[in-house]
Amino acid sequence: MATIDPRTDIREFLSSRRARIAPAQAGLPAYGGNRRVKGLRREEVALLAGVSVDYYVRMERGSLSGASDGVLDALASALQLDEAERDHLFHLARRSGAPGSPRRRRPAGSVRSTLQQVLDAISDAPASIGNARYDVLAMNRLARALYSPMPADPRRPANTARFVYLNPEAARDFFVDYDHVADVVAAKLRMEAGRDPHDEELIALVGELSTCSELFRQRWASQNVRLHRSGRKRIHHPIVGRLDLDVESLELPAEPGLYLNVYTAPAGTPTADNLALLASWEATRQTPATRLDAPSG
C-alpha cells in the first residue's frame, strides 16, 4: 500500500454509513419494499442534512474540502454518527484537498528515560507506553510479564496489531475476546489513518497487515472507527490464568500521540490475586525492566 487516499476513505466511509440506516430509522417513509439501494439514498441523506443533492453527491465522491463545521455537523446527524465517527468525519474533511495544511507531529519512536522512570515507579500494576499505531515503546516489569506470551518479533518497537493479526493462533489463546480485540485494533488504526494519512509508518503497517491477513482486510474494509480510550481487557495468561483488567489509557501532553496504559483490578478480586501472583513470578525471573527498543536481558 503506497498511500492512504483521503478521497477514497471519504467515499467509502460515507457510503458505508449511509448503507446501514434504514429509512424508518431516519423517520422517512420507505415508499414500498423494492428499494434498489441498501439503506438511505443519497437524496435522502441530502434532505436530512439540509444540503442540495448535488452538494452531497460531491461530498460522497470524496470532496469534503471547504465544508463548514455546520455542514459537517448536519451530515453527522443525518448519518447518525457516534462520537468516534463524527471525529473521523472532521479529520477526513480537514485532510482532504488541503496539501498545504500542516502535518500532524509524528509520535515518537522511543520514550525519554524519565518516562521509563515513571513506568518503573508503578510497581503494583502493569504499565506501558505506546502510540496509536500500536507500537509498544516501553513497559514496566509487570507489563513485560503480562505480555510475555507474545512471540519475540525481532523488529522494534514491538507492535500489538502485528501480534493480533499475524499470529492469530497465539493471539486467540491470549485474548479471551479475540474477535472484539481484532475489531478494536482495526478501528483504531482506521481512526489514526483519518488523522494523518501521510504517516509513512502507519501506511507500511496497514499495507503489511492487508497483505498478510484476510481478517484484517475484512475489518479494514468495514470503515469502522474507534477512539483511543479506557476499557476492559480480558486475558488468559499461561502462568496465572484469567485476568479481567481495567485499562486506563492517558494521552501524554508533553508527547503528542503517546499513551500511558495502566492495567488494574479491584482489590479482593481473583484478578487482583492473580496480578500479585504474576508479580511474584516475574520477580523470580530477575529480568531488568528495559525499553522495548533495547536488547532484552
What is the predicted pLDDT for the residue at 185?
97
115 and 29 Cβ atoms separated by less than 8 Å: no
What is the predicted pLDDT for the residue at 286?
57
Q: What is the pTM of this model?
A: 0.86
What share of the chain in percent tops pLDDT 70?
Answer: 89
C-alpha cell read off for 69: 463545521
Residue 224 has pLDDT above 90, yes or no: yes
227 and 22 Cβ atoms separated by less than 8 Å: no
Tell which wins on pLDDT, 227 or 155: 227
pLDDT digits (tens, 9 = 90+) for 232-260: 999 999 999 999 999 999 999 989 889 99
pLDDT digits (tens, 9 = 90+) for 70-96: 999 999 999 999 999 999 999 999 887
Q: How far apart are CA 250 and CA 258, in angstroms?
A: 8
Given phi > 0 = left and psi -120 to 50 = alpha, else beta, which region is 137? alpha
* Closest residue by Cα to residue 36 from 60, 49, 19: 19
* Closest residue by Cα to residue 1 from 144, 161, 197: 197
Residue 150 has pLDDT above 90, yes or no: no
* Closest residue by Cα to residue 201 from 157, 166, 164: 157
Q: What integer is the mean pLDDT of 44-52?
A: 96
* Closest residue by Cα to residue 291 from 123, 143, 171, 101: 143
What is the predicted pLDDT for the residue at 292?
47
**Domains of the chain as residue ranges with CATH:** 6-95 (1.10.260.40), 113-285 (3.30.450.180)
Q: How far is CA 276 from the centre of its chain?
A: 29
pLDDT bin (cut points 50, 70, 90) of residue 261 is: very high
